[in-house]
Every structure is written in C-alpha cells, then in structure tokens.
Structure 1
Amino acid sequence: MGRWPCRRNRGCTVSAVPSSTPLKHIRGRLTADAPLAPLVWFKSGGAAEWLFEPKDIADLSDFLAALDPAVPVMALGLGSNMIVRDGGVPGVVVRLGKPFAKVAALDATTLQCGGGASGILVSSTARDAGIAGVEFLRSIPGTVGGFVRMNGGAYGRDTSEILVACDVVLRSGEQITLRVDQLGYTYRHSTLPDGCVVVSATFRGAPGDTVAIQAEMDRIAAAREASQPLRSKTGGSTFKNPEGHKAWQLVDEAGCRGLKRGDAQVSEKHTNFLLNLGNATSAEIEALGEEVRAKVKAQSGVELEWEIQRVGVTS
C-alpha cells in the first residue's frame, strides 16, 4: 500500500509511504480520522486526518522519512494550550506516548527527559535526585516537547534557563541535536522548524535539598490552585503578557471578566483563561478570544497576542 485516501478532499490522495515500505512496517499506531477533542483540555474541535503514535524514535524517523513532504505534520502533547478548530487537522498529528515519557537523572544536576514527559514527572524526578531549579515545571500542564518548542515558563522562569540541548526528528526524518543557543528563544517562542518533533531534552538545574525542593513545589501548586480554574475545561494562559503589562489585568480592565459566547466564557477566577462551560465549539472559544482582544485594544490600546496555539481548519 503506497497511498492513503485524502479524507478532507474527496478524489485526491496523500502519498504517504512508498510501496517499498508497506504500512505494516510501521511499529507504532496509525489511526485515520482520529477525534482530537478527547485529547485536548478544551474538549472541543475536530479530528486529525491521521494520528500517529510512534513506538520509538527510529519508528518516528522512518515514518516521517517515508511521508510525502507535502503532508503537514504537527506534534501534540497534552493538548493543554491549544484550540483544535472544528474542521480538524489535515495531515498527520504525532502524539508521543509512554515510550517518550521517561525521565532520568544523569548526574547531580542534569536530567534526561523524553519529549512526552509531563512537567510533574520532570520536577518530581528532579526532587528525588536533589536537583533544584526545575520546580516551575510542576505548574505547567504540558510535556517536554511543548516546553522546548514554546519556551514554556511560569513563576518568573522559563525553559531557556534550564535547557542544555534537545533531540529533534525533523520533518524529513533526520535526527539532530540542537543546543539551547540554536533555538532562537524569545518569550514563548523558538525557531524550531515546522513539522519537527522534539523527542528528548537535557535539562540542567543545581544541587538542592529534597525537602526544600518539595516545599517550593507545594508553594507553586497552592498558588495555581488558588488563582487558576484548574478543574475546568480550559486551555491555560490565553494571551501572552505584553511588555510592561499583565494580560489578565488588561482583560479585566476591559470589562471582560465572565464574558460569554455560547458555552465559552472568560474565567471569573483568572481572566487570562477561557473556559468551555459545557458544549462550546472551538469556533465559539476562538471568537470569544478575538472579542476580548478587540475590547482590550479599544480600552487600553494594547494588542494582545495569542499564547494558545490555534490549529486546524474551520468547519
């Protein structure tokens, strides 16, 4: 089998795997028309044309090398900072599962982390190894791959401060290692190429006391619980903090606290969070965000920039 049907446009085909490499050689799991709403925090949006869950790095590399270069590829972590549009995501969505979710201490200050490992696992492993400085990852509901790509951060720290290097599978299937100084980091942004997948990262902290590290993790967890709508269907921080401003404060001052559109709402607890109160569509959530941006612009003159990724096509 050398071609897959293109489920978004009837009559076309997506050249995916050449006949010399049959699909049966893929060792991971490949699913057509895979619903993405259950995999993202907003619990809304359409399906992935194809969802690929590789068995290991070699499986991912071989798959991408065989895939038609014209087919778009997107990596998906925990789906915590993402709006999947209602028309779904064309091409291939790559989701890193358990084989990529391991974390190990290499020495007294260094951690090797799989691209699918959660911030909670990374910070807990660091604590057990007496490595301080990565506690802030406890507060970010995402995976290492997302932290690296988006320069994830919280509580005054971000990924660029602890990253040594990352291992990446490029869209071509080539495996490379990039140092932190090669990623062009700015606030919530890197220059990682489109279609690549971060499969592992090396983080470096500092020697620390496990009791003190746990105390800091507890402080961060309590602060999040007190200020954020953690038990809601949400997407985390919606807008980036503009230079010299706090996004939540601008949203609040523009009168947007509790603002609704259908089942989408601006959180009353933290105004930089959007909520799905029940059956909000992704279109409603995104439109509410755009309405907030317009109101903030009109009230303060500041143009908010989306922090949440918005992917896929409208229905």
Structure 2
Amino acid sequence: MSLPDIAPELAAGMPGLRGRMLAHQPLADLTWFRVGGPAQVLFTPADEEDLAYFLARLPGEVPVTVIGLGSNLIVRDGGVPGVVIRLGRGFNAIAVDEGYRLRVGTAVPDVKAARAAADAGIDGLAFYRGIPGGIGGALRMNAGAHGGETKDVLVEARAVDRAGNVRVLGNADFGYSYRHSDAPADLVFTQALFQGRPGEPAAILAEMERITAAREASQPIREKTGGSTFKNPPGHKAWQLIDAAGCRGLMRGAAQMSPMHCNFMINTGGATAADIEALGEDVRARVKAHSGVGLEWEIKRIGIPAD
C-alpha cells in the first residue's frame, strides 16, 4: 500500500513553520535494526515553539508517532501512516542547575547526559551510560539499568500536547512502574530536569567505565540490535526463560536471537522488520509453551506491515 503525499496540504496550513517536513522519508537508517518502511511525513521541528505551532495546526485526524534515536524500535516494512516526529538539534541542550540538578533536552543521548552529569560532579545519573537511547525515550518508558531508573532521578519534564499547549509534568504525574509510564500518549516531551547528588567526577567516570565494560562483555552492542527485546516478568529474568526454551541463536530469515545475550535480537544482514517481529513472536510462543510465562515486548513496534 502506497501512502498518499499529504505534506503539501499540511504545509499550506502552516505558513510560519520553521522545521523540516519531508514526504515518504525512509526510516530504516534512523533505527538500530536498519529495517522498515518510510514515514508518510517526517517532521523535525526547529524548537519547542515550532513543535507547538505544528501540533496546534495539524488536522486532528492525522496520526502522530514520535521516535527518538531508534535504539529499541521496529518500524514495520509498510511504513508509518501520518506524521512521524523526530526531535533534533533544537532539543539537545544540556544545562547545570543549582542544587546538583541537570536540565536536558529530550534529543540528548542517555550516555551524553550521564557524561555531562559526571563532568559537573553530579552523582546518581551514571546508570544512563548503560542505556542505548535518548532522554525522550527514557521518560516515556522509565528506562533503567545497573540499579538506577528514570523514576529515581526525574524532577519534572516539559512536553507539548496535541493541541500545541506546553505542559509541565512532575515525577508523580508519570505513574511510573517497571519500564512503563502512564503519561498521556499524545505528549511530545521536550526537556527533562534531573536531581542528582554531590559526587567526585573521577569516581563517577570510573563507575561509567565499569558499566561500559560490563555491557561490552555481555551484550552484542556492535550488532544491528534493538537492545533488550522483552521485559523481565515478575520473579524471572527474560533471558533465562528464553535460554531454557531453547531459543538462544534461534533464527527467522536473517533475524537471530543473539548467541551472546539471548534477550537481544540482531539483524545478521538483510533481515526485514517482518523477520524480526516474527522471530520475537516465535520466542514468546516457545517460552509460553515451555514455562507458562508470557513475555511482554520491551521494544516498541510501529507502522503497518508490507502488502
């Protein structure tokens, strides 16, 4: 199915738009799996004001999907209908506030936020070194690793809603739980404020190096992967359930459950999004049959299948 070009009509109703709007823009290169179809429209706003202007004038029937760095994302082969928003340079500022606080744009990679905190002597954010994504995704899914989670350090976040209104949410407004938030789905987060504690930069950097070494030793981080595929079910570790069900190294087309860490899927070369998603469903079925435990996807899947 070919998605019609709606970009000219949208642009006509937004004469003051400063961001970049592209029709039928490929998304595969924006994801770590390197698979998937195009966005019907890809919009990169210039800044928060431009984003608010765009959303306030976007027809209500046009769906909106927000993507970040694409580290835990499968874009289906048929592409993504409506508008895909991807934040860029206008959302990558980092500032140190008083009281060991760090203010970060949501396009900033987690690792860069961790490094900025370390350089400023702000402890408590080093765990972000182990998360291969951006701050926007961290807010949405309560990203965590190595003993820390977003809910532990977030003070508040700014966002723009579908009507173009700027909103500020406190930590409690997110309703955080394990790899989940109850924040309204129509919000596009633009900035986060984190609370740390006093620390020595050298000691924080040493902790980040430890996290880096642990990741490199146990995860296929140099492959085309999407990070952890499934959430850990209560009382279990997903990788142990997958391993026990005989799924380590399992393949579907050119998609494979990593032999190194079997809760990671990898594109060994030439896999389609359908291959990767079908492999994940194969694993879920085998784990369910073997242990009775239902695995829940941690990787986000968007778009429509190919014809």
TM-score after normalising by structure 2: 0.96
CA distance in 2, matches of 1:32, 1:276: 27
Out of 3, 8, 11, the residue aligned to residue 3 of structure 2 is: 8
Question: Partner amino acid for 1:114?
Answer: G
* 1:1-315 matches, cutoff 5 A: 8=3, 16=10, 19=13, 21-22=14-15, 25-315=16-306
Structure 1's unaligned 5+ residue stretches are 1-5
Q: What is the rounded CA distance, in whole Å, between the counterparts of 1:7 and 1:55 in structure 2? A: 28
SS of residue in 2 equivalent to 1:16 = helix
Count matched residues. Answer: 306
TM-score, normalised on structure 1? 0.94
CA distance in 2, matches of 1:294, 1:129: 47
CA contact (8 A) 2:7 2:22 kept: no
* Range moving further from structure 2, 103-112 or 230-239: 103-112
Residue deviations 1:65-96, cap 9 Å, x none? 00001111111111000100001111111111
| Residue 103 of structure 1, CA deviation | 1.1
Letter in 2 for 1:35: P
Offset at 1:108?
Answer: 4.1
Corresponding letter in the other structure for 2:44: E
Alpha-carbon shift at residue 47 of structure 1 (Å): 0.4
| d(CA) in 2 for partners of 1:197, 1:209 | 34
Letter in structure 1 aligned against 2:268: L
Distance 1:251 1:104 in 2: 42
Once the two structures are TM-superposed, the CA of residue 120 in structure 1 deviates from its matched residue by 1.2
Listed one character per residue, the Cα deviations across residues 210-232 of structure 1 (whole Å, up to 9, x for unaligned) are: 11101100000000000000110
Contact 2:7 2:23 in 1 (8 A): no
Deviation at 1:16, TM superposition (A): 3.5
How many Å separate the matches in 1 of 2:234 and 2:104? 31
- C-alpha separation between the residues in 2 aligned to 1:88 and 1:43? 13
Gap change, CA 1:170 and 1:14, over 3 Å in 2:
farther
Q: Quick check: 1:17–1:68 contact (8 Å CA) kept in 2?
A: no
Summarize deviations over 1:173-227 as a string: whole Å, max 9, x none.
1110000101111111111222321000000111001111011000000000000
How far 1:265 moved relative to its partner? 0.3
AA at the equivalent of 1:132: D
Q: What is the distance in 2 between the residues matched to 1:167 and 1:147?
A: 14
Which residue identity does 2:109 align to in structure 1?
S
Paired AA for residue 246 in structure 2: G
Instruction: Please give the alpha-carbon distance, in whole angstroms, between the structure 2 residues aligned to 1:105 and 1:284.
Output: 44
Measured in 2, the distance between the counterparts of 1:7 and 1:132 equals 50
The sequence identity of aligned pairs, in percent, is 54
Task: Please list every run of 5 or more consecutive structure 2 residues that lacks an aligned counterpart in the other structure.
Answer: none
- Tell me, yes or no, if the aligned pair for 1:17 and 1:66 is still in contact at 8 Å: no
Coordinate RMSD, CA, aligned: 1.6
Q: Give the distance between the partners of 1:204 and 1:304, measured in 2 at CA.
A: 33
Task: Kindly state the Cα deviation for residue 281 of structure 1 after the two structures are TM-superposed.
Answer: 0.3
Moved over 3 A (4+): 12-19
